[in-house]
Amino acid sequence: MNAQSTDIATYNFAYLDEQTKRMIRRAILKGIAIPGYQVPFASREMPMPYGWGTGGVQVTASIIGPDDVLKVIDQGADDTTNAVSIRAFFKKVAKVDVTTETAKATIIQTRHRIPEQPLTAGQVLVFQVPIPEPLRFLEPRETETRKMHALEEYGLMHVKLYEDIAKHGRIATTYAYPVKVEGRYVMDPSPTPKFDNPKMHRSPALQLFGAGREKRIYAVPPFTEVVSLDFEDHPFEVQTFDQPCALCGAENVYLDEVILDDHGGHMFVCSDTDHCEKRRADGHHGHLAPETHSASGKMEPAE
């Protein structure tokens, strides 16, 4: 897949050089072979700052091919700066088709959400991860946390949950909620809301996690057990919302609060914009939905 162009100013396909991609693919394969295990990799400088998804971008760049269709979401939305820029980046350096429709995408790079629409076999979900180490909160030494993973010493993870219940009367951790993968490694699912944790369990899609600054890659292969940690008397629960989406009327989806004015007016709407638009196109509407709506599911051709 070397760049065919004779123009010396163009980048290699998908920006990264082929040696780097091979290195990252090896890390990904190792991650898939050991679900939940953090594989170190030689993270490269990317043309964007750390914290903007450099880990996810490197993973995506290493697996993307000319036939792939890419969707990028930032906290569920396709139209925020981060999502738009990364989509534009791959459109330019890999000349791939991009989409906002979950079902049409072959690769979905995400910052902190899993789409509401269930993923299917053959799709790859790439997470952008800021801090991959779930034990970091209580154990600052990397040498020690690696040993704890190696020896399966995960008591500390429950100490964190214990502290939550002691302080708040319930497990107050709502995002980056630790999971145990395939009964072995405890993993940070990146700062996704715990609402999305059950979607990771036995998902038909391949889930890849890239942490650029921390130089770690990990993976959950399709149909892998992903269990959220909890106590017998304080079982894991997802967030519930006491009202449906104000725009599409959806229930049992993850909602964002949107401030409407300076007088305390606000509404709760789907965090997954594609899901919301699709529902509205299908005729669902919530109590604050405008009378007309725009068509959804734009399919942008490659440049």
Partner 1 sequence: MTDEPLLRVSALSKFYGSRVGCENVTFDLWPGEVLAVVGESGSGKTTLLNCLSTRLLPSSGTASYRMRDGQWRELYRMSEAERRFLMRTDWGFVHQNPADGLRMTVSAGANVGERLMAVGDRHYGRIRATAVDWLSRVEIDEDRIDDEPRAFSGGMRQRLQIARNLVTGPRLVFMDEPTGGLDVSVQARLLDLLRGLVTDLGLAAIVVTHDLAVARLLSQRMMVMKDGRVVESGLTDRVLDDPRAPYTQLLVSSILQV
Instruction: Give yes or no: 248 in active site.
Output: yes
Structure tokens at 260: 């409407």
Provide the residue type at 131 as one letter: I
Q: If DSSP codes are grouped into helix, strand and coil, which group holds residue 87?
A: helix
Minimum distance from CB of 161 to partner 1 (Å)? 8
169 binds partner 1 (CB under 8 A): no
Minimum distance from CB of 229 to partner 1 (Å)? 9
**Burial (0-12, 13-18, 19+ Cβ within 10 Å), 282:** exposed
User: What's the chain's length in residues?
Assistant: 303
Q: Using the rule CB under 8 A, which residue among 42, 121, 138, 299 binds partner 1?
A: 138
Instruction: Give yes or no: 297 in active site.
Output: no
Please tell me the distance from the alpha carbon of residue 152 to that of residue 134, in angstroms, as a whole number.
13
Q: Using the rule CB under 8 A, which residue among 2, 19, 67, 166 binds partner 1?
A: 166
Question: Which residues between 254 and 273 bind partner 1 (CB under 8 A)?
Answer: none
Q: Using the rule CB under 8 A, which residue among 2, 167, 242, 262 binds partner 1?
A: 167
Q: Smaller CB distance to partner 1: residue 235 or 264?
A: 235
172 binds partner 1 (CB under 8 A): no
Contacts 24+ apart (CB under 8 A), 118-125: 118/199, 119/199, 119/203, 119/204, 119/205, 120/204, 120/205, 121/204, 121/205, 121/222, 122/205, 123/204, 123/205, 123/206, 124/63, 124/205, 124/206, 124/207, 124/208, 125/203, 125/205, 125/206, 125/207, 125/208
Q: Smaller CB distance to partner 1: residue 232 or 303?
A: 232
Four-CA torsion 145, 149, 151, 157, nearest 10 degrees: 80
Report the DSSP beta bridge partners of residue 186.
Answer: 180
Instruction: Give yes or no: 270 in active site.
Output: yes
Q: Smaller CB distance to partner 1: residue 230 or 256?
A: 230
Binding part of the chain for partner 1, among 68-76, 87-95, 228-236, 245-253 by CB under 8 A, reads 228-236
Minimum distance from CB of 197 to partner 1 (Å)? 17
- Write down the catalytic residue from 31, 56, 276, 286: 276
Q: If DSSP codes are grouped into helix, strand and coil, which group holds residue 99?
A: strand
Q: Using the rule CB under 8 A, which residue among 234, 284, 285, 293 binds partner 1?
A: 234
- Residue 125 DSSP label: E
Minimum distance from CB of 179 to partner 1 (Å)? 15
Please tell me the distance from the alpha carbon of residue 155 to that of residue 226, in angstroms, as a whole number.
18
Minimum distance from CB of 191 to partner 1 (Å)? 21
Number of H helices, E strands in the chain: 7, 13
Q: Using the rule CB under 8 A, which residue among 17, 163, 225, 256 binds partner 1?
A: 163
Please tell me the distance from the alpha carbon of residue 266 to that of residue 259, in angstroms, as a whole number.
4
Q: Using the rule CB under 8 A, which residue among 231, 237, 251, 299 binds partner 1?
A: 231
Minimum distance from CB of 93 to partner 1 (Å)? 44
Report the candidate in 11, 31, 115, 130 with the shortest Cα–Cα distance to residue 72: 115
- Write down the catalytic residue from 31, 56, 210, 270: 270
153 binds partner 1 (CB under 8 A): yes
Please tell me the distance from the alpha carbon of residue 15 to that of residue 67, in angstroms, as a whole number.
16
- Write down the catalytic residue from 212, 245, 249, 286: 245
Q: Smaller CB distance to partner 1: residue 167 or 263?
A: 167
Residues interacting with partner 1, by CB under 8 A? 138, 147, 151, 153-156, 158-159, 162-163, 165-167, 230-234
Catalytic residues: 36, 245, 248, 270, 276
